[in-house]
Structure 1
Amino acid sequence: MNKINEIGDQLWEGCILASIAHAIMVAHYPELANEHSWDDINYNVQNSSGGRGTITFHTNYVVGAFRNEDSERESNYTVALNYFNGAPQEVIDVAVNESLQYLLDDIHGSVAPVITTAFWGNKGGSNSNDNDEEFIKNGGFLIERQALNIEVAINEWIEDYYMTESQVSLLHSLFERKISNPNDKIMLTESEIKMIESDDEEGLKESKISFGELGIGWEL
């Protein structure tokens, strides 16, 4: 097993940040709606170019599995579990019951998870059967920005989405409120919804869905 960057709260915050930025800007780019989503404790990320992955923020462990369809690796259910060799049984259970359920595909007539790399860990650090280079190459590139220092990541999302001053202000406000009280319901006021600066009906619909997955509702 190889040690990769420390995992835990920082990665969760990075995924929350990515999702809030996405929820704001999908109102302008509804075609990107599939790229970030949450289902309870599972964060799903795609790049619309054959890369997809799921990170499960379980009580005791963070478990991530990824697929890069451009990878030279081939995977089926047995191989998928091999990426968790050496992991505690609880990690394997989380992978089987949560993370891998979002990476299912048809394998010779049978539905099974298809992945090309994985990791697991907790606040003390994380492990993978791949080294850093292999992990990034085979799917870990999907969370490179989520794993960055938060201030650096904020600047990268701002540049990537060409966010306006109003949108940046909303991003900062919602991010701080969400990480300060992660279980509290947050409601966007009418003035905050206007800070999204979109009148695209489809985009606003996708934005509302994305915010809802984060426990952020709209006051309308």
Structure 2
Amino acid sequence: MTARGYPKSYALRRGVILRAAVHTTMLASEPALGGFLAWDGTDYVLNNADGTYAAITFDGSDIVGVFFDAESSYNPYVSGGAYDIEIFFRGMPPRLRSLAERHALAYNRQNYQCRSMALITAAFWSVDDYLTAAFPWEDVFRHGAHIVRVELLGDTDEAWQEWREAYQCSPGQLAAARALFWRDLSK
């Protein structure tokens, strides 16, 4: 992290591929994991089962991520105030906003005040080699992006160790996940 404290887009891309490889490997022995992570075309969708959701769209070099954290003070159910999704997209280029509308926001729809609408508590997008947002990185992370904390480590030893522990991978499962990871990267 260097550009104003935001993570590199490259780390997120590799981290998402890493988690998907571990997750896919573990689905064979733990089918119940299927509800926590999904790919829908170019959309990476997470449900932490703790009230935190994410949808991240990868389109060429562009990335748009939107998050909902039930505990966030930006959650309109918690804050009770007026809710305006536009505050999360200030400064986002129009082409990325369109990408968010067509993809990522479709996964964060909820009923609020008798209307079905996208509810988010944080968002980020790519600019050059980094992620950026309308808010400081610490706020984006606290209000939802924490769900991709390990993905943001990329494919480091630390990330491999975290996923090994989180998924309780055997050495054989970890080896299979590594093979899948490297195969996916070579595409």
TM > 0.5 between the two? yes
Whichever residue aligns with residue 177 of structure 1, its letter is: R
The offset of 1:26, in angstroms, is 2.6
In structure 2, the partner of 1:154 is 160
1:60 to 1:12, Cα distance in 2 relative to 1, 3 A: closer
Contact 2:57 2:65 in 1 (8 A): yes
TM-score (norm 1): 0.75
The offset of 1:75, in angstroms, is 4.5
The offset of 1:4, in angstroms, is 4.3
Alpha-carbon separation, structure 2, partners of 1:97 and 1:149: 26
Alignment gaps of 5+ in structure 1: 182-220
Whichever residue aligns with residue 92 of structure 2, its letter is: A
Cα deviation 1:160-214 (Å, max 9, x = unaligned): 2221111111011110011111xxxxxxxxxxxxxxxxxxxxxxxxxxxxxxxxx
Alpha-carbon separation, structure 1, partners of 2:178 and 2:126: 28
2:179 corresponds to 1:173: yes
Contact 1:146 1:153 in 2 (8 A): yes
Report the RMSD for the aligned CA atoms in angstroms. Answer: 2.0
The offset of 1:15, in angstroms, is 0.7
Alpha-carbon separation, structure 2, partners of 1:102 and 1:156: 26
SS in 2 for 1:100: helix
Calculate percent identity across the aligned residue pairs.
Answer: 25
Alpha-carbon separation, structure 1, partners of 2:51 and 2:137: 20
Contact 2:68 2:75 in 1 (8 A): no
The offset of 1:137, in angstroms, is 1.4
TM-score (norm 2): 0.88
Contact 2:69 2:75 in 1 (8 A): no
1:100 to 1:3, Cα distance in 2 relative to 1, 3 A: farther
2:26 corresponds to 1:21: no
The offset of 1:97, in angstroms, is 1.0
1:75 to 1:92, Cα distance in 2 relative to 1, 3 A: farther
Matches within 5 A, 1:1-220: 3-75=4-76, 79-151=84-156, 152-181=158-187
Paired residues in the alignment total 180
Alpha-carbon separation, structure 1, partners of 2:85 and 2:33: 28
Alpha-carbon separation, structure 2, partners of 1:45 and 1:108: 25
The structure with the largest alpha-carbon Rg is 1
